[in-house]
Amino acid sequence: MIQDKIDQYSDMLFKIAYLRLKSVQDAEDVVQEVFYQYLKKTDGFSDEEHEKAWLIRVTLNACRKVWRSAWNRHRSDEDVVLYENFADGNSQPGPEENLVAMDERRMLLEAVGTLPAKYRDVIHLFYYEEMSVKEIAEATGRKDSTVTSQLTRGRELLRKKLKEEYDFA
């Protein structure tokens, strides 16, 4: 049973943790800790959505704990590794298209990674995990209106950031 849950949620939780921490090793540690907490949890979940929301919430809390740790405050930027394998493609484009698409995904991921955490979380959950505003609100403990405004503000920040990247005039 636990292996099914790991298979089902580990990629999503890893991506959330990576976007928060910008470290593959820390993200892996967080996911491992989340599933440890899942094993220790004695009471059940009312449904699948409640379980998913709980896992996301525990992941975000674990990321905050790592972020506040003394080790993280003294870590250098050289320890940060970019996780590029973020989106799956179903078509078979040529090598040039692959390079352009990879570069665009990398730039978008870097831009999302520079957003403040509150915007980064909702952008990731909405676009990469395809969660609704209501599901994000439940998972993060925020109001629907707060999630909507954070999505709007996060999109605007991304638009400005990406415009700077492509605006050479």
Question: Same structural domain for residues 96 and 65?
Answer: no
Judge if 142 and 160 occupy the same domain: yes
* Mean pLDDT (the chain, rounded): 80
Q: How much is the pLDDT for 38?
A: 92
Q: In whole angstroms, give the CA distance from residue 21 to residue 32.
A: 15
Which of 77, 93, 119 is the endpoint of a domain?
77
Q: What is the CATH number of the domain that holds 136?
A: 1.10.10.10
Share of the chain above pLDDT 70, in %: 78
pLDDT band per the 50, 70, 90 thresholds, residue 169: very low
Q: What is the pLDDT of residue 133?
A: 93
Each residue's pLDDT tens digit, 110-132: 888 889 989 998 998 888 888 89
Is 92's pLDDT higher than 70?
Answer: no
Instruction: Indicate if 72 and 115 belong to the same structural domain.
Output: no
Whether 107 and 167 share a structural domain: yes
Q: How many structural domains compose the chain?
A: 2
Domain containing 97 equals: 84-169
Phi, psi at residue 13, to the nearest 5°? Answer: -65, -40
Residue 1 pLDDT grade (very low, low, confident, very high; cuts 50, 70, 90): confident
Residue 145 has pLDDT above 90, yes or no: yes
Q: Where does a domain end: 77, 107, 139?
A: 77
Q: Does one domain contain both 45 and 104?
A: no
Question: Are residues 103 and 168 located together in one domain of the fold?
Answer: yes
Q: Are residues 71 and 91 in the same domain?
A: no
pTM exceeding 0.75 = no
CA distance 27 to 80: 11
pLDDT digits (tens, 9 = 90+) for 28-85: 999 999 999 999 887 888 888 889 999 999 998 898 888 777 555 545 443 443 333 4
